[in-house]
């Protein structure tokens, strides 16, 4: 019985240590910085107003790929997306 109590105490201590390490790792995960990416927005999914359409709210893009509609993407990813631009584009 004495060994059982000792094993239980050791197992509990190990489990508590693992839980503390796991929660510390999660708490310190940094949020990626974001940038505006123009020209890749799906209809109805824009993050803010669109001057060319006269909208004042998010989610009002009438079609896909409007040049001055934007969404936030992680820094450095916009120009890796086909049609993505860091500057507004004029639709042709």
Average pLDDT over residues 38-42: 94
Which residues make beta-bridge pairs with 35? 73
Q: Which residues does 83 contact at the CB level (< 8 Å), separation at least 6?
A: 39, 40, 65
Which residues make beta-bridge pairs with 22? none
Q: Place 55 in a pLDDT band, splitting at 50, 70 and 90.
A: confident
| Whether residue 75 has pLDDT greater than 80 | yes
Instruction: Give the number of residues written for the chain.
Output: 92
Give the pTM: 0.60
Task: Determine the pLDDT at residue 35.
Answer: 96
């Amino acid at each position: 019985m004495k060994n059982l109590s000792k094993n239980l105490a050791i197992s509990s201590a190990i489990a508590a240590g693992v839980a503390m390490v796991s929660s510390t790792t999660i708490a310190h995960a940094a949020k990626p910085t974001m940038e505006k990416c123009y020209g890749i927005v799906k209809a109805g999914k824009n993050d803010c107003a669109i001057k060319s359409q006269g909208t004042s709210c998010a989610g009002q893009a009438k079609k896909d790929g409007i040049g001055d509609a934007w969404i936030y993407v992680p820094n450095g990813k916009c120009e890796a997306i086909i049609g993505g631009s860091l500057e507004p584009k004029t639709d042709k």
